[in-house]
A and B are shown apart, each in its own frame.
Chain A
């Protein structure tokens, strides 16, 4: 009896170990906490891609999306050292890097251990790898976008531009709009003849979003009118050897733009409510199809574009125009427009791995595997046979499959966007293998771009003799070595920078709305008020730009 008992006891002890021994092959399941520095929606419980990831890598995600102010949210996380495993600091990743929240990825990435990741970052390593205080090479974040393979694809304007509703151009007989005056002339003329839409809702000529960090719609346009790409709040003269850098808002050449807006305000093109509305109200207004034009960045109102397309209000969607100042505003100088840029890694944007993460090796190994063709296709195109099909070596979608990719509810169930958008990814052309010659992203694939275009858009483009929306602006221009200055960290002058922005947030709307007779005097007062903070910020940026140039050219 005792012996039987002993055997049973032994069995009881050993049996639970058997499954563990068998399971040794697969990885121990883990749940990674993930923070995204922008608002978003929780994926569906039964999302098929996350299920695949769980099966293959044993990894589940717990997402937290930004709700509220980004800097404040990050600040609280840093104070409390309360970091998620995967940490996307959005546009303020500088804060979490300086706060010591992220690990140095170079400790885990090398040509031998992670060949795919290394090959991914290698071409741009001069821009990506930084030096820390002790002079060590560090890389905290593998950019979420901008590491492009093959020749650059520029089908649309994804960034900043002056936008105008297609119906306005169609109404005016498809003119080519190149300058600020032409732009407002056509808006004025349209509004005069069509004060309201078919349902009697009044049209708004020009919207200016001013809310929080999205105030770039208010404060950024001048540099573009001067023929420069997006350098944030400074204008850089790349033709000078010292990359002369200055803030532009306090300079004489900024005045004509705001004076023009002041005129348009008094002509009724701009509603004063635009200065107090929040982002949701702005998107709602755009989605209603009653806003004829605005300065913005295409990604910033993507939800409105999607809503308009959903409602088949194609004539109310927007075309990006690359406007410059008319010569009369800049001493008769002809300015060449520069809205589209050569591709550039989105430095310091995307996921970093936090110091609290227990398993950085697992994440790196997962990313390494995910850079394979198989996984990139899963993330970008979906599951073959369900979300896309292959014909003669071409990746294709049926109309229905394509429509799904624009349906937010469908995407929450069938795409892993919340994770993939901030993860390292391959963009541009597939250069090797059986799918060589296709694009990594469906949105760039010829058959999709032109095959799925609606009839209104096809007809619209044909009137201009264009094949793509990017034809409305100049082809991409190679960037100067410093990249785009809006990416440069300005922490040491952050107080001056905050003053600099606060003054603009307050005074520019006042200037646009003021009595035209008082404009000149108010402008002078504005320049005087902003000069101290503008000078401090501008001087710092001049230094920073030169350092960036030295860093990139140094290798």
Chain B
């Protein structure tokens, strides 16, 4: 081992010997076909992800006077939109709600998806496996309006959930699931799991099919039972998928969704149901105050970038997969 220098090291040495631009241009010359192929995607990103950032300029404009707005007069007003946002206690409340519901969704969603994927992976009967998969991912295609309507009936005071709990003697009076703030986040978590668990299982199941069957056989020979095979073969096998998905989801932490909260929240549970998106809708978009809406969007993007970079950094430090 020590005698034969690995090829990678030789390359590194030779690159060191010939410093300067030549290395870059040589690589460019070697890979130009690939670079050419990436041009459309690059254009796409530039056009649809970077160019719209020009719109951030609206965060510094005054949109409060509707008549002026209609005539195209939107003067710059410095940081006034941000100052207004940060002067509102309910803006911070909406950040709290967004983060809380996102975290609940992330944990519930990931754990349930992995659990279901592992269980399905252990099922040998193909017909049963297919059926369960189909049944669990069908709710993904239901409109949120329908799902929330169902939830409103299921969780009503005289609804099935309360009746079940009452008949089991777990509670003595019906619980006011929909009207008490303390239940709201968890309700959203439960509804999300029900709707999305099958769908998010797909990616984990596909990661599991990529695991070499020899590993399972070797583990069996070494005396590992079913539980140990899951613990030492299946789970490590999907670890990289899990980490990548986790990092990506952390980037979306400030997007707890909008529909459930909008349809199920408000009124009594307002303090717990208002997410950033709903706050922006109520005080920005609905009032045609693009300034405030953009300022909130900008704030959200910046926090998302920080969270994403943070997760990436930690992951790298722990020697795991990274996104960048």
Co-assembled chains A and B:
yes
What are the 8 tightest A-B residue pairs by CB atom distance, in nearest-first order? A100-B70, A98-B66, A276-B178, A71-B286, A506-B270, A505-B267, A273-B157, A509-B268
Whether the Cβ atoms of A99 and B69 lie closer than 8 Å is yes
Task: Tell me if A110 counts as interface (CB < 8 A to partner B).
Answer: no
Binding site for A on B (CB under 8 A): 66-67, 69-71, 149, 152, 156-158, 176, 178-179, 266-268, 270-271, 281-283, 285-288, 290
Contact A276 B267 (CB under 8 A): yes
What's the nearest-Cβ distance from chain B to residue A439, in Å? 40
A272/B283 in contact, CB under 8 A = no
Name 18 A/B residue pairs within 8 A (Cβ), A-sorted: A69-B286, A72-B285, A75-B286, A79-B290, A98-B66, A99-B66, A99-B69, A100-B71, A210-B267, A273-B156, A276-B152, A276-B178, A276-B179, A278-B152, A494-B287, A495-B283, A505-B267, A509-B267
Q: Quick one: closest A residue to B71, CB to CB? A: A100
B267 touches A506 (CB 8 A): yes
List residues of chain A with CB within 8 A of the CB of B179: 272-273, 275-276, 509
Note all chain B residues with C-beta closer than 8 A to A71. Answer: 286-287
Given the interface pairs A272-B179, A502-B270, the reply to whether A491 lies near B66 with Cβ below 8 Å is: yes
| In the complex, chain A residues whose CB is within 8 Å of the CB of B288 | 75, 78-79, 95, 98-99
Chain A positions within 8 Å of B149 at CB level: 278, 280
Interfacial residues, chain A to chain B (CB-CB below 8 A): 69, 71-72, 75, 78-79, 95, 98-100, 133, 210, 212, 271-273, 275-278, 280-281, 491, 494-495, 498, 502, 505-506, 509-510
Q: Which residues of B contact A273 (CB under 8 A)?
A: 156-158, 178-179
| B285 neighbours in A (Cβ, 8 Å) | 72, 75
Instruction: Determine the chain A residues whose CB is within 8 A of the CB of B266 once the complex forms.
Output: 212, 505
Q: State whether A133 touches B67 (Cβ < 8 A).
A: yes
The complex places the Cα of A281 from the Cα of B152 at a distance, in Å, of 10
Q: In angstroms, how far is the closest chain A Cβ from the Cβ of B149?
A: 8
C-alpha spacing A273/B149, complex, angstroms: 14
Which B residues are in CB contact (< 8 Å) with A212?
266
**Which residues does chain B contribute within 8 Å of A100, judged by CB atoms?**
70-71
Q: Report A91 CB to chain B, min CB distance, Å.
A: 13
Judge whether B283 and A498 touch: CB under 8 Å.
yes
Chain B residues closer than 8 Å to A509, beta-carbon distance: 179, 267-268
How far is A99 from B70 in the complex, measured between Cα atoms in Å? 5
* Complex CA distance for A95 and B285, rounded to whole angstroms: 12
Of the residues A69, A495, A498, A506, contact of B271 by C-beta under 8 Å:
A506
CB distance from A466 to the nearest CB of B (A): 38
Q: Is A98 touching B281 in the complex (CB atoms < 8 A)?
A: no
Q: For the complex, what is the distance from the CA of A212 to the CA of B267, rounded to whole Å?
A: 9
Residues from chain A with Cβ under 8 Å of B267 in the complex? 210, 275-276, 505-506, 509
Contact partner of A72 among B71, B178, B286, CB < 8 A?
B286
Nearest CB of chain A from residue B87's CB, rounded to whole Å: 11
Separation of A95 and B286 alpha carbons in the complex (Å): 9
Q: B283 — which chain A residues lie within 8 A by C-beta?
A: 495, 498
Residue in chain B with minimal CB distance to A276:
B178
Provide the bound-state CA to CA distance between A494 and B288, in Å.
11
Q: CB distance B67 to A276 under 8 Å? A: no
The residues of B that contact A495 with a CB separation of less than 8 Å are 283, 287
Given the known inter-chain contacts A98-B66, A99-B70, A210-B267, please indicate yes or no for A272 contacting B286, CB distance below 8 A. no
Interface contact A275-B71, CB-CB below 8 Å: no
Given A99-B69, A273-B158, 13 extra CB contacts under 8 A = A71-B286, A72-B286, A98-B288, A99-B288, A210-B267, A212-B266, A272-B179, A276-B267, A277-B152, A280-B149, A498-B282, A498-B283, A498-B287
Residue of B nearest to A503 (CB): B270
Q: Are A272 and B270 in contact (CB under 8 A)?
A: no
Contacts of B156 on A, CB cut-off 8 Å?
Answer: 273, 276
* CA gap between A506 and B267 in the complex, in Å: 4
Is A272 a contact partner of B176 (Cβ separation < 8 A)?
yes
| B70 close to A506 (CB less than 8 A) | no
Nearest CB of chain A from residue B296's CB, rounded to whole Å: 14
Measured in the bound complex, the distance between the Cα atoms of B181 and A442 in whole Å is: 49
A505 touches B152 (CB 8 A): no
| A98 contact set on B, CB distance < 8 A | 66-67, 69-70, 288
Q: B67 — which chain A residues lie within 8 A by C-beta?
A: 98, 133
Q: Measured between alpha carbons, how far is A75 from B286 in the docked complex, in Å? A: 6
A491 to B268, CA, bound (A): 26
Residue of A nearest to B284 (CB): A75
**Across the two chains, which residue of chain B brings its CB closest to A133?**
B67
Instruction: Give Cα distance in the complex from A498 to B287, angstroms.
Output: 10
CA distance A502 to B274 in the complex (A): 11
Tell me the smallest distance from the CB of A517 to a CB of chain B, in Å: 19
B70, B157, B287: the one contacting A272 at CB < 8 Å is: B157
- Most B CB contacts (10 A, CB to CB) among A98, A273, A276, A510 go to A276
A100 and B268 CA atoms in complex are apart in Å by 36
Q: Which residues on A sit within 8 Å (CB–CB) of B271?
A: 506
Interchain CB contact under 8 A, A275 and B268: yes
Cβ contact of B270, chosen from A69, A78, A99, A505, cutoff 8 A: A505
* Nearest opposing residue in chain A for B72, CB measure: A100
Q: Which residues of B contact A505 (CB under 8 A)?
A: 266-267, 270
Residues of B within 8 A of A494 (CB): 287
Q: B311 to chain A: closest CB distance in Å?
A: 33
* Residues in A whose Cβ lies below 8 Å from that of B158: 273
Q: Given that A281-B152, A491-B66, A498-B282 are contacting pairs, would A276 and B268 also be in contact in the complex, using a CB cutoff of 8 Å?
A: yes
Q: CB-CB < 8 A to B286: which residues of A? A: 69, 71-72, 75
CA distance A435 to B56 in the complex (A): 63
In angstroms, Cα B110 to Cα A273, docked, is: 33
* Closest B residue, CB atoms, query A212: B266
Which residue of chain B has the shortest Cβ distance to A281 in the bound complex? B152
Cβ contacts under 8 Å, B70 to chain A: 98-100
Whole-angstrom distance between the alpha carbons of A506 and B271 in the complex?
Answer: 9
The answer for the CA separation of A535 and B252 in the assembled complex, in Å, is 40
Quick one: closest B residue to A69, CB to CB?
A: B286
Partner of B157, one of A95, A271, A491, A510: A271
Select from chain B the residue with minimum beta-carbon distance to A497: B287
Q: Which chain B positions have C-beta within 8 A of A506?
A: 267-268, 270-271
A277 to B281, CA, bound (A): 22
Contacts of A498 in B (CB 8 A): 282-283, 287
Pick the residue among B268, B281, B282 that contacts A510 (CB under 8 A).
B268
- Min CB distance A138 to B, Å, is 12
* Residue in B closest to A70 when the chains form the complex, CB atoms: B286
A510 to chain B: which residues have CB within 8 Å? Answer: 268
Give the residues in chain A near B281, CB-CB below 8 Å: 72
